[in-house]
Amino acid sequence: MGTGLKRATKSIPATVGQGLPSHWRTLYICDRSRTGAWLVESFAAESPAEVEVHEAPGRTAGLARLRDEIFDVIFIVHDPPELDAIDLTVAYRTGGTDEALIVLGRQSEQELAVPCYEAGADGYVCVSTATSHVLKWTALRAVQRCHLTRQNRRFQQSELQRLQREREEALRVLLHQKHLISDPSSEPSTRRCEPLRTTSQRPSDDSSCDHLSQFELPEPPDLPAKLIAHYRELLRAYIIMGSGHLGIELRELADVFATAGLSPKEVLHLHLYVAAELIRGLGSRSTRHVITRTNLLIMEVLLQLAEAYRSRYRDASRPPIQLFFPQFEQCMRDITASRPTIPDESC
């Protein structure tokens, strides 16, 4: 069979042909008798896409073409012992390839369909009973399966990369916030997290900003476990409900912090300890929503804490003064005015 090229003259439903290539490169691995050659020729003639058929006689020639070239559809003749399509399919799938592969043979589908599927083929067609339409739709479904598999793999890789970038971003935010509560007497760290790297470019040292497991923060000292647990539950509720629903709880918590005399650094230390613990527990789930809500929470808590300290300072600097009723003040003035003046004896 020579190389043939057929331009599409028919159309297929959009739900089936969406995303499929308009030009197909097809490999036909055949035996000496070229079993099913007429079926492949009919497929090329009636296919809705442009089909370029390449023929490879025998197993060795077929593997050589598969090693050097890429094809959209592969037809393999099953005629043992000259050409065993099942063994060839297993060998081809073992290499990690996922091109559409269809086995052609003379045996009935009841005999060879299941062994072909188990070997990794996308279908089996009996050349004695099948028509070109059967082969056409079998090939269309196989190519569509291959296309969806590759697309799904790309989506999975993109999702994993997105999750990795979000976790790296969350780690950077936690590290920058940790610098805010560092000891001011020590030298400030000038190290900054490097830009995002690909997997092959990431450094292997422990100082890289790549994993949340590297972020360690001791438990806040001098704080009761009940208060830490309360803040943990409040943070979880805030992540779910957002701002505007926990205003009363945040004001009460700020009053507790102010009564205990906690500084903003101590409150931030508590927040970072609980937030890092929560983010590490997310596993492979997204961290962007969580880190955004945690940042909003600490800002609102610090605002409420500043307002609580401001209110206490105002009360301390301007203590309340006991005032009297106007009538009582007038009566006191009248009594003072009517009291006789005592003469000064020194005069």
Q: Can you give the residue range of the structural domain that contains 267? A: 211-317
pTM: 0.60
Burial class (CB in 10 A: 0-12, 13-18, 19+), 305: buried
Residues 53-62 pLDDT 10s: 999 998 889 8
Q: 220 and 130, same structural domain?
A: no
| Per-residue confidence band for 5, with pLDDT thresholds at 50, 70 and 90 | very low
CA distances from 248 to 88, 254, 275, 290 (A): 71, 10, 21, 22
d(CA 75, CA 102): 5
What pLDDT was estimated at residue 318? Answer: 80
d(CA 73, CA 21): 11
> CA end-to-end span of the chain, whole Å?
145
Cβ atoms < 10 Å from Cβ of 161: 13
Report the amino acid identity of residue 60: T
What pLDDT was estimated at residue 116? Answer: 92
Q: 258 and 123, same structural domain?
A: no
CATH number for position 269: 1.10.1240
* Per-residue pLDDT at 195 exceeds 50: no
| Per-residue confidence band for 28, with pLDDT thresholds at 50, 70 and 90 | very high
3-state secondary structure of 157: helix
Mean per-residue pLDDT of the chain: 79
User: Is residue 117 one of the residues assigned to a domain?
Assistant: yes
* Per-residue pLDDT at 38 exceeds 50: yes
Report the amino acid identity of residue 232: R
Q: 127 and 42, same structural domain?
A: yes
Residues 152-179 have a mean pLDDT of 86
* Per-residue pLDDT at 201 exceeds 90: no
Q: 248 and 116, same structural domain?
A: no
What pLDDT was estimated at residue 213? Answer: 59
Q: 135 and 13, same structural domain?
A: yes
Report the amino acid identity of residue 305: L
User: Is residue 331 one of the residues assigned to a domain?
Assistant: no
Q: 217 and 293, same structural domain?
A: yes
Give the count of domains, the chain.
Answer: 2
d(CA 302, CA 320): 27
What pLDDT was estimated at residue 77? Answer: 93
* Per-residue pLDDT at 210 exceeds 60: no
User: Is residue 10 one of the residues assigned to a domain?
Assistant: yes
Q: CA-based Rg of the chain, rounded to a whole angstrom?
A: 39
Owner of token pair 């997105």? 162
| Per-residue confidence band for 343, with pLDDT thresholds at 50, 70 and 90 | low
What pLDDT was estimated at residue 162? Answer: 87
* Per-residue pLDDT at 131 exceeds 60: yes
* Per-residue pLDDT at 9 exceeds 50: no
Give the residue with greater pLDDT, 221 vs 302. Answer: 302
d(CA 58, CA 34): 10
User: Is residue 67 one of the residues assigned to a domain?
Assistant: yes
User: Is residue 98 one of the residues assigned to a domain?
Assistant: yes
Q: Which residues contact 320 (CB under 8 A, 6 or more apart)?
A: none
Report the amino acid identity of residue 155: F
* Per-residue pLDDT at 12 exceeds 70: no
CA distances from 326 to 320, 337, 339 (A): 18, 17, 20
User: Is residue 120 one of the residues assigned to a domain?
Assistant: yes
Most confident of 77-86, 164-173, 237-246, 276-285: 77-86
* Per-residue pLDDT at 198 exceeds 70: no
* Per-residue pLDDT at 115 exceeds 50: yes
Query: Helical H runs in the chain?
Result: 14-17, 37-46, 59-68, 85-94, 109-119, 132-180, 225-241, 247-260, 264-280, 288-317, 326-338
What pLDDT was estimated at residue 306? Answer: 92
d(CA 226, CA 256): 12
d(CA 325, CA 282): 63
Window from 35-44, 64-73, 166-175, 247-256 with minimum mean pLDDT: 166-175
Q: 44 and 129, same structural domain?
A: yes
Q: 102 and 29, same structural domain?
A: yes
Q: 141 and 262, same structural domain?
A: no
Q: 222 and 119, same structural domain?
A: no
Residues 56-85 have a mean pLDDT of 89
d(CA 275, CA 295): 9
Q: 90 and 18, same structural domain?
A: yes
d(CA 27, CA 23): 13
Structure tokens at 341: 């003046």
Say if CB 27 and CB 71 are below 8 A apart: yes
Q: List the beta bridge partners of residue 53.
A: 4, 26
3-state secondary structure of 214: helix
| Per-residue confidence band for 208, with pLDDT thresholds at 50, 70 and 90 | very low
User: Is residue 180 one of the residues assigned to a domain?
Assistant: no
Q: Which residues contact 268 (CB under 8 A, 6 or more apart)?
A: 177, 180, 181, 298, 302
Cβ atoms < 10 Å from Cβ of 27: 22
Residues 254-301 pLDDT 10s: 999 999 888 899 899 998 888 888 887 776 667 788 888 888 899 999
Give the residue with greater pLDDT, 284 vs 171. Answer: 171
Q: 145 and 8, same structural domain?
A: yes
CATH number for position 113: 3.40.50.2300
User: Is residue 8 one of the residues assigned to a domain?
Assistant: yes
* Per-residue pLDDT at 193 exceeds 70: no
Window from 11-15, 137-141, 171-175, 250-254 with minimum mean pLDDT: 11-15
What pLDDT was estimated at residue 180? Answer: 82
What whole-number percentage of the chain has pLDDT above 70?
A: 79
